[in-house]
Chains A and B, each alone.
Chain A
Amino acid sequence: MKISSKKLGDYTILSLSGILNASSAPQLKSYLEETDFSGSLIIDLELVDFLDSSGLGILVGIARRKKAANEILKLANLNDRVKKVFEITQAYTLFDIYDEVNAAAE
């Protein structure tokens, strides 16, 4: 899994691509611990074509920290397979989910 981040206005855009499953989840976990993501964050999942419960768990962890710090978190570009995981677990209720990154950054 490839991870990159950039700034867009006062948002940080964290872009993930590839497989986010139990095998690649630790890689994202350590990346998040090493990097400072305070402030408003948008996670772009456009290039994520497979998400499992471990990947979901990490995203929910981010949501919890953002909520605790009263900071904004948005997800963007979820394809149907990724959306399905959020829906069947009801995790969608924890996230603001956008079609596109720039609409999220408005």
Chain B
Amino acid sequence: MKTLIIIRENAHSWLRDTFPGQHPLLVRICNKSFLEFLFDFSIIAGAREVRIVSDGDMAEIRDFCHDGGRWGLNISYATIQKSDTITQINNKNRRFYAAERIIVLDNLLFIEFNKNESYTEYLASSHVGMLLSNGQGSVYLDGADQQSILEQCGSSPHISIPELGSLPEYFRLSAEILRQGSRYILPGYSNEDGCYIGRNVVIHKGVEIKKPVIIGNNVQIMPGCVIGPEAVIGSTVIIDRESLVTGSIVMHNTFVGEQLEVKNKIASGNRLMDPATGASLQLVDAHLLSEITSEGTVYEGIVRRLVHVLAALLLFIAQLLPYLFLRPFVGEPVAGGTGHEHKTAQLFNRLSLDRFPQLFRVFSGSLRLIGSQPAVFRYAETEEWPENEMDARIVEQFCTLHSHPFGDIPLLLKALLNRKESKIAAS
């Protein structure tokens, strides 16, 4: 038994519009790409050999699947023409067919199946020809018509093609897959029914998780949040404090702000979509909803160091004289000095001269000028509102994930400004 997956390039345009920049079959539903669900079905049907044919560019698919080793499959690829009929596709892939029974998944995004049922006999003994179709995608059997020794087996296992041609249908199917989680192989560790948690997931205290819920990898759920029921949280996601995500999908690389309510919505990067009304909003307010850009590359590390050394140099020159002038008047930086020195010490700190000695460590490369702890200036100091260490860590988490080398300069100026207005206790 083998599986042939036919990808038609111009199909599923609604998916390309909703999630631009991604091949439709690599879009995730319930944190798993459509293609991987098709692989699961193939494995359950006993077909380890898979060939993917397309009339379009498959570079993205090839980079994602390689030879299929990751799923214990043997994947090969071939190209077809837009006008090819099933027989032509059969002819073009004759070596792959090689007198085997072939399950052909033509222009399909998803098959509803149940991993606890057995499909091998059913598919092996059914006759060649159309098995299922919903007008857009279809499942049919091809290749050798096995004069099976098995008679037509008893009851046929559950298998169907859901309607999937719009965002509301995607949204409904996602909720359904999550509800029937036990039928599928959902990613993540599942110690109890209806709850699937990925790797490196931090769920802070006071968070309420209401099943069914699926959470991806590298996720932070801040204190006081309520997640679920029926919440799909993608990978590399931060849900900030006291926010509610219910009946919704938060796609990967998304930051959801504080005290917000994501109800029956899809949040993807800085876009919020309402499947019911089709409304879609591109949020400009990063503190509400924004995209988490991936970790900087080696290149960024080098540039960041360069930017920091240069900024430290400028700061060094600017602070040298005031530091030399004021330093003698300021005793050991003891908090709560009295009278005259107090005023000088306060001025000393407000000009951030207390940080002056640390500039040398920036030059030596052992300390960043600005960044999350440890650094001469902490990202947390660029905001006025953090009262405690937890708040500070959230700001730093947000800044680290969103920072790029040149972004550090405005942040540095903000930190200096905040300290000048001494909005922050001279810590």
Contacts and interface: CB of A to CB of B under 8 A. Distances in A.
The answer to whether any beta carbons of A and B sit under 8 Å apart in the complex is: yes
Interface of A: 83, 86-88, 90, 92-93, 96-100, 102-104, 106
B149 interface: no
A99 B78 contact: yes
B77 A106 contact: no
Nearest to A90: B57
A78 to B, nearest CB: 9
A54 B91 CA distance: 29
Nearest to A86: B79
A103 B81 contact: no
Contact of B81 (A83, A96, A102): A96
A98 B91 contact: yes
A87 B93 contact: no
A101 to B, nearest CB: 10
A83 B62 CA distance: 13
Nearest to B94: A103
A106 B57 contact: no
29 contacts: A83-B77, A83-B79, A86-B79, A87-B57, A87-B58, A87-B59, A87-B79, A88-B59, A92-B79, A93-B79, A93-B81, A96-B81, A96-B88, A97-B78, A97-B92, A98-B91, A98-B92, A98-B94, A99-B93, A99-B95, A99-B96, A100-B94, A102-B94, A103-B91, A103-B92, A103-B94, A103-B95, A104-B91, A104-B92
Interface of B: 55, 57-59, 62, 77-79, 81, 88, 91-96
Nearest to B91: A103
Contacts of A97: 78-79, 92
Given A92-B79, A103-B94, A104-B92, 16 more contacts: A83-B77, A87-B62, A88-B59, A90-B57, A93-B79, A96-B81, A97-B78, A97-B79, A98-B92, A99-B92, A99-B94, A100-B94, A100-B95, A102-B94, A103-B91, A103-B92
Contacts, number: 40
A60 B55 CA distance: 18
A102 B94 CA distance: 9
> Which 7 A/B pairs are nearest by Cβ-Cβ distance?
A103-B94, A99-B95, A92-B79, A103-B91, A100-B94, A98-B92, A99-B94
Contacts of B78: 83, 97, 99
Nearest to A104: B91
B360 to A, nearest CB: 51
A96 B78 CA distance: 11
- A88, A100, A102, A104 — which one has the most chain B CB atoms within 10 A of its CB? A100
Contacts of B81: 93, 96
Contacts of B59: 87-88
Contacts of B62: 87
Nearest to B95: A99
A66 B91 CA distance: 21
Contacts of A104: 91-92
A28 B91 CA distance: 28
Contacts of A92: 79
Nearest to A91: B79
- Which of B58, B78, B94 has the most A CB atoms < 10 Å from its CB? B94
A33 to B, nearest CB: 28
User: Taking each of B58, B95, B96, which has the highest tally of chain A beta carbons within 10 Å of its own beta carbon?
Assistant: B95
Nearest to B88: A96
Contacts of B57: 87, 90
Contacts of A106: 91
A104 B92 CA distance: 7
Contacts of B55: 93
Contacts of B95: 99-100, 103
B95 to A, nearest CB: 4
Contacts of B91: 98, 103-104, 106
A106 B91 CA distance: 8
A70 to B, nearest CB: 16
Nearest to A103: B94
A76 B20 CA distance: 35
Contacts of B88: 96
B329 to A, nearest CB: 69
Contacts of A102: 94
A103 B97 CA distance: 11
